[in-house]
Chains A and B, each alone.
Chain A
Amino acid sequence: MDCQAVYELMNRYIDDEITPEEERVLEFHLERCRDCQKTFGEFKDLNLLLNSLEPSKNFTNNVMAKIQKSKQFNPNKWIYIHRKSLIGVAAVFLLFVLVLAPWSNNKNSADIIISQGQVERGITPEGNQAVTVRNGEVTIKGLNGTFNAINSQIILEKTTADLKSGLWGQFRYKIQNLYFQVKGWFTNTFGKGEMKNENN
């Protein structure tokens, strides 16, 4: 390739229009032609000088675009900036759940969600309602009666079980309650083919 044709490739390189193949051709030639190497260096210097005579035409637009980009919601950055308030919000939320959740339970109607297993309903000798599940998975939302589970996994949710064990018992009950509720949400959302059964 003659040097005249390489000049065009140099210009295309400077304008950032060069294709990978053309770039290989240019490199191949430059490795073998000292004159063109020197010229290419001068072209690049010249281009740098020419381009830094004035701010580019898009200067203001680019600045405004950068500003917009910096305003965009970046979850990681946001969490970092607001980490202190986030801890505060989480603490308040947890406190709210711990303190208020047990009270809200009492208003809920009692029901049992049986995900799988054999269900038997009946009346205890004392006259209370009773449900028995065999080989099943059960979620209890508020229990006002007797519940027997045989070879079953029990997930308690919003139980109104009567606890008469003082402050410590009360506190433990609250924590357990929260735990059960979270587990209950899980089964409610992801449980397999739930079957609802009223127990009242």
Chain B
Amino acid sequence: MNDTRNQQDIYLVKRTLSGDDEAFSRLVDCYKNGVFRLVYHKIPFKGDVEDLAQEVFLRVYKSLKRFDQNRKFSTWLYTIANNLCIDYLRRKRLQSVSLDAPLFPTNGEKEVKLEIPDETNDPELVFQRTSEQIMVLKAIEKLPEQYSLVIKLRHIKGYSYEEIAQILDMPLGTIKSRIYRARNELRKILQKGGREDGLSSCV
């Protein structure tokens, strides 16, 4: 099955190289979730995940000519994603250095390691969610249905308020106030969840 997947990828790569950008957008569709998750695992600031994941595909597009078509496309793609994350972390490290780190390590002292350990070299990462993502998804499931539905449409499916109003055939104002309330409920659930976790770890 993997072979068929890769054959299709290689076919789309060839189409892209012959100038068919539509073929590349299909590759993006196939791999955006995987790349997104990989990047999510690797970088600490989640606000940059989307941008960096898009950057990965831009890099892939530009280097496509250098891709050896006898290799597996997905492996090559995730290698690029991995390298871009490492570049990103290196850039961030240059900007932020821990205040606790000694500037000039003395003889007895080991230089403080600023490297962020990379324990996430597992290719399975692209199929996994982080624990905080799982926590949020569980919290969404705990919401009353009318709230969980709008939250999913808004934040997982990415629809705008107007689009949700159309889909559910409800006034825009109703949708907005429902999402506001849903967020508030979600905030409370997560807050409670966090506190419970804290208590249980103390006991």
- Check if A and B associate: yes
> Hey, which bits of chain A sit against chain B, CB under 8 A?
7-8, 11, 14-15, 39, 42-43, 46-60, 62-64, 66-67, 70
Contacts of B109 in A (CB 8 A): none
> Hey, which bits of chain B sit against chain A, CB under 8 A?
21, 24-25, 28-29, 32-33, 36, 40, 46-47, 49-50, 53-54, 57-58, 61-62, 132-133, 136-137, 151, 154-159, 161, 176, 179-180, 183-184, 186-187, 190-191
Contacts of A7 in B (CB 8 A): 180, 184
Task: Name B's interface SS.
Answer: helix
Give the A-B pair count, Cβ closer than 8 A: 89
Which one of B133, B156, B183 contacts A11 once the chains associate, using CB atoms below 8 Å? Answer: B183
Contacts of B61 in A (CB 8 A): 67
Contacts of A11 in B (CB 8 A): 176, 179-180, 183
B90 to chain A, nearest CB (A): 22
Contacts of B32 in A (CB 8 A): 55, 59-60, 63
Q: How far is the CA of A46 from the CA of B180 in the complex (A)?
A: 12
Q: How far is the CA of A66 from the CA of B58 in the complex (A)?
A: 7
Q: How far is the CA of A47 from the CA of B154 in the complex (A)?
A: 11
The reply to whether A55 and B133 contact each other, CB–CB distance below 8 Å, is no
Q: How far is the CA of A52 from the CA of B133 in the complex (A)?
A: 8
Task: Name A's interface SS.
Answer: helix
The reply to whether B46 and A60 contact each other, CB–CB distance below 8 Å, is no
The reply to whether A46 and B54 contact each other, CB–CB distance below 8 Å, is no
The reply to whether A59 and B180 contact each other, CB–CB distance below 8 Å, is no
The reply to whether B190 and A46 contact each other, CB–CB distance below 8 Å, is yes
Contacts of A67 in B (CB 8 A): 21, 24, 58, 61
